[in-house]
Chain A
Amino acid sequence: MEAALPLAIFVIIALAAFLLLSAKKFVDYSRWSKHARFDLYPVPKEGSKKNEYGGSYYEENEWWEKGRSTSAVTELLDIGQEMFFIRKLFIHQRGLWYFSFLFHFGLYFLFGWSVLLLIGGLIYPCPEWFAVIIGIVGYIGFIIATIGCCGLLLRRIFSKSARINMTPIEYFNLFFLLAVLVTGIISWLWFADPIVIAHEVFTLSLVNVPPIVIAHLIMLGILLIYIPMSRMGHYVGKFFAFHGMWDNDPNTAGSKVEQNVIEMGKRQPKDHWAAPHTQA
Chain B
Amino acid sequence: MSAAQKHWKAKDIAKDVEVLSPPDDLSTLPEPYASNGLEPDYKAKKPEWAQRYCASLDGFVALDTLERPENEEAKKEFVERFLVGLEKLFSEVNANTVQPLMLTTDFCAKCNTCSDSCHIYLSSNGDELLRPSYRTDVLRRMYKKYFTPSGRYLGGLVGADVDVTWESIARLGELAYRCNLCRRCAQACPLGLDNGLVAKEIRKLFSQELGVAPTPVHDKGTMLQLKVGSTTGLTKAAFLDNLEFIEEDIYERTGRKIKFPVDKKGADMLVMHNAGEFIAWPDNPAAFAILLDEAGVDWTLSSDMMGYDSVNYGIWYDDVQARKVALGQFKVAKELGVRRIVVGECGHAHKAIAIAADRMTTAEDRVPVESFIPVMAEFVRQGKLKFDPSKNNFPVTFHDPCNIVRQMGIVMPEREILKACAPQFREMTPHGVHNFCCGGGSGIALMNSYNFSDYRNKVTARKKFEQIINAFGEDFTNPDVVKYVCAPCSNCKGTIRDILKFYSATSTYNVQYGGLVELMVNGLASMEKPYLEFLQD
Contact = CB atoms under 8 A, between A and B. Distances in A.
Interface of A: 29, 32-43, 46, 50, 53-64, 82, 86-89, 91-93, 96, 100, 160-162, 164-170, 231, 233-234, 237-238, 240-242, 244-245, 248, 250-254, 257-258, 260-262, 264-265, 267, 269-278
A267 B91 CA distance: 12
Given A40-B187, A167-B157, A241-B191, 8 more contacts: A35-B98, A54-B434, A62-B368, A240-B99, A251-B359, A258-B362, A275-B210, A276-B211
Given A40-B183, A277-B320, A88 B189 contact: yes
B95 A55 contact: no
29 contacts: A32-B98, A35-B100, A36-B356, A39-B409, A40-B186, A40-B194, A40-B407, A41-B405, A41-B433, A42-B409, A57-B409, A58-B371, A60-B374, A93-B116, A100-B111, A162-B110, A162-B112, A164-B8, A165-B134, A169-B159, A241-B100, A245-B194, A251-B363, A251-B366, A258-B363, A261-B362, A265-B361, A274-B210, A276-B211
**Across chains A and B, which 8 residue pairs bring their CB atoms closest together, nearest first?**
A56-B409, A241-B192, A54-B433, A167-B159, A32-B99, A253-B363, A275-B211, A61-B378
Interface string B57-95: 000000000000000000000000100110010011101
A165 B359 contact: no
Contacts of B161: 167
A54 B107 contact: no
B88 A169 contact: no
A165 B412 CA distance: 40
Contact of A161 (B112, B194, B340, B366): B112
Contacts of A33: 99
B208 A38 contact: no
Nearest to B89: A273
Nearest to B414: A59
A278 B206 CA distance: 12
Contacts of B156: 167-168
Given A61-B374, A240-B103, A168 B157 contact: yes
A50 B409 contact: yes
B240 interface: no
Contacts of A278: 208, 320
Chief secondary structure at chain B's binding surface: helix
B26 interface: no
Interface of B: 7-10, 81, 84-85, 88, 91-93, 95-100, 102-104, 106-107, 109-113, 116-117, 128, 133-134, 137, 154, 156-159, 161, 183, 186-194, 197, 207-211, 223, 318, 320-321, 340, 354-356, 358-364, 366, 368, 370-371, 374-375, 377-378, 405-413, 432-434
Nearest to B157: A168
Given A168-B156, A271-B92, A252 B99 contact: no
A171 to B, nearest CB: 10
A273 B209 contact: yes
A72 B36 CA distance: 53
A59 B7 contact: no
A170 B110 contact: yes
Contact of A241 (B97, B103, B320): B103
Given A43-B409, A245-B186, A92 B116 contact: yes
Nearest to B96: A36
A39 B320 CA distance: 20
A32 B116 CA distance: 30
A19 B194 CA distance: 27
Contacts of B408: 39, 41, 56, 58
B433 A62 contact: no
Contacts of B110: 162, 165-166, 170
Contacts of B81: 274
Given A55-B409, A169-B158, A39 B355 contact: yes
A269 B97 CA distance: 14
A247 B356 CA distance: 12
A42 B406 CA distance: 8
A247 to B, nearest CB: 10
Given A35-B98, A58-B371, A241-B193, A92 B113 contact: yes
A269 B7 CA distance: 40
